[in-house]
Chains A and B, each alone.
Chain A
Amino acid sequence: MRLYDPTSSGPERTLFRAPVLTGLDGKTIGILENGKLNAVEMLREVGALFEARHGCVVRPVYSKSNASAPAPAGVLAQAVGEVDFLITGLGD
């Protein structure tokens, strides 16, 4: 019996996972807040932990207006040029 694989994606996929960082020390962090209640406050606290523990540098906060939609391409493009990694994500 021959079965087609149901998990195939299309031929033009352009988005893939970024390579894993080799270390955190001295890296530049971006914070992407998603507009949810207390998101900025919590993410700043997380950023402060990276500063204290790994000597990271925290960039000004990036924002997106819709918590459940991907960040606008322009925001991500800006972050790519400015930071080594990005912290985001806050549920309810």
Chain B
Amino acid sequence: MPFDSQRIHEVPDDLLAAIDYCYEQGWTDGLPVIPPVVDRVDATLAFEGRPPVAVIATHPATGLQLTVHAAAVNAVMAGCLPEYFPVLVAAFEAMDKPDFNFHGSTASTGGSAPLLIVSGPVADDIGMNADVNLFGPGNRANATIGRAVRLILRNVFQMIPGISDKSTQGNPGKYSFCIAERARGNPWPLLCETQDYPPGVSSVTVFAAGGFCNVENHGGNTPEQILGSVADAMANYGCITLGQSVVILSPEHMRIVDGAGWSRADAQSFLFTQAKRSVDGMKSVGKYRDSEYDHQHQAAAHALAEPGFVHRGLSPDDILIAMGGGDAGGHSCFIPSWSRGRGSIMQHKPIGVCIDCEQ
């Protein structure tokens, strides 16, 4: 089959008509897109060192490939500025790792959305929001990078709702689900620092996410109280599985946790220990499986796994904790995994640099 990345559609020189043309072709997420005119795509390509035909990711079931060129086209359509492009490329390089299983998470009834967490100096460099209204609208980089992920899944990988995307109810994050980790006032090492990248190198972490769960606690003033409410959200019967978790602590909650001298590892261990349900409780809602319990309590199980209980995840390391959001408000959040076990494992990649890569 000939490579068709240069396929061009000639349309009348009318912007609104071009937007309608994109709708007619089935290229949108339901919202209007920026028509991918040649010069904008070329400007975006200038932010990637590899040639346009280089392949970033491959769909394991269909063999469809994402090239640098196709990624740039969809980035333009999403509204990305050219300087956002390295984040998008790194996100798909991370999603392309087999253990992320982007085919399963995007096809499943579970309604997963890929959550992107950008960590490090690139977030400020391109004007991402890590602060007030973190998951909400208003910031171009956050909104359009996340949207570009969805457009690529739809347009390049053909994950079409109702056909190859079988989400039962979907997830608002499927429009866009991209945040930056807040560095300002953050007492803990940034994610990119814990991921062992060289100093100054930013990263993007991808997580096949379920829906967003707000954790409100304005009365607690100890780590146990704050994280206890987070753990309760993690263990709710609708969410508890052996899957991984993302917890974004608000600055107000972080001040309480860190102020008592707790490290990230301390918080992870506490959450793993507390986010659990009894075997009888799991049976009462029909969600108990012997095989899952045995998996969590096998000989090599984590020492904090308590007999007679099902914990969320397999170990404290299954819980990613980062800080984000505005200074005011006792609102953190828990985001469950799409996977009920090990069907998708979160991944990360450096942004804009090549570390131990093959090309």
Report A's interface with B, CB cutoff 8 A. Answer: 1-16, 66-70, 91-92
Contact = CB atoms under 8 A, between A and B. Distances in A.
Contacts of B73: 4-6, 8
Given A2-B8, A6-B70, A8-B156, A14 B63 contact: yes
Contacts of A3: 8-9, 11, 18, 21-22, 35-38
Interface stretch (B102-110, B135-143, B305-313): B102-110
Identify whether the interface residues of A are mostly helix, strand, loop, or mixed. Answer: loop
A80 B37 CA distance: 44
B67 interface: yes
B274 interface: no
Report which residue of B4, B15, B53, B151 has the largest number of chain A beta carbons within 10 angstroms of its beta carbon.
B4
Interface stretch (B54-62, B234-242, B296-304): B54-62
Nearest to B33: A6
B137 to A, nearest CB: 23
A16 B36 contact: no
Interface string B1-37: 1011111111111110010011000010000000111
B67 A5 contact: no
B248 interface: no
B118 interface: no
B104 A9 contact: no
B250 interface: no
Contacts of A67: 104, 343
8 contacts: A3-B18, A3-B36, A3-B38, A5-B4, A5-B8, A8-B73, A10-B66, A91-B166
Nearest to A35: B291
B101 interface: yes
B52 to A, nearest CB: 10
Contacts of A13: 1, 63-65
Given A16-B63, A68-B104, 20 more contacts: A1-B11, A3-B18, A3-B22, A3-B35, A3-B38, A4-B6, A4-B37, A5-B7, A6-B27, A6-B77, A6-B151, A6-B155, A9-B4, A10-B5, A10-B58, A11-B5, A11-B67, A15-B63, A68-B108, A69-B343
Contacts of B55: 10, 12
The 7 closest A-B pairs by CB, nearest first: A68-B104, A10-B65, A15-B63, A11-B3, A5-B7, A6-B155, A6-B73
Report which residue of A9, A15, A66 has the largest number of chain B beta carbons within 10 angstroms of its beta carbon.
A9
Nearest to A91: B109
Contacts, number: 121
B69 interface: yes
A47 B246 CA distance: 42
A67 B35 CA distance: 38
A10 B67 contact: yes
Given A10-B3, A10-B53, A68-B108, A2 B60 contact: no
A1 B37 CA distance: 7
B41 interface: yes
B67 A8 contact: yes
Report which residue of A5, A6, A13, A16 has the largest number of chain B beta carbons within 10 angstroms of its beta carbon.
A6
A15 to B, nearest CB: 3
B74 interface: yes
Nearest to B58: A10
Contacts of A68: 101, 103-105, 107-108, 339, 343-344
A8 B70 contact: yes
A3 to B, nearest CB: 5
Contacts of B63: 13-16
A1 B20 CA distance: 13
Nearest to B57: A10
Contacts of B166: 91
Nearest to B71: A6
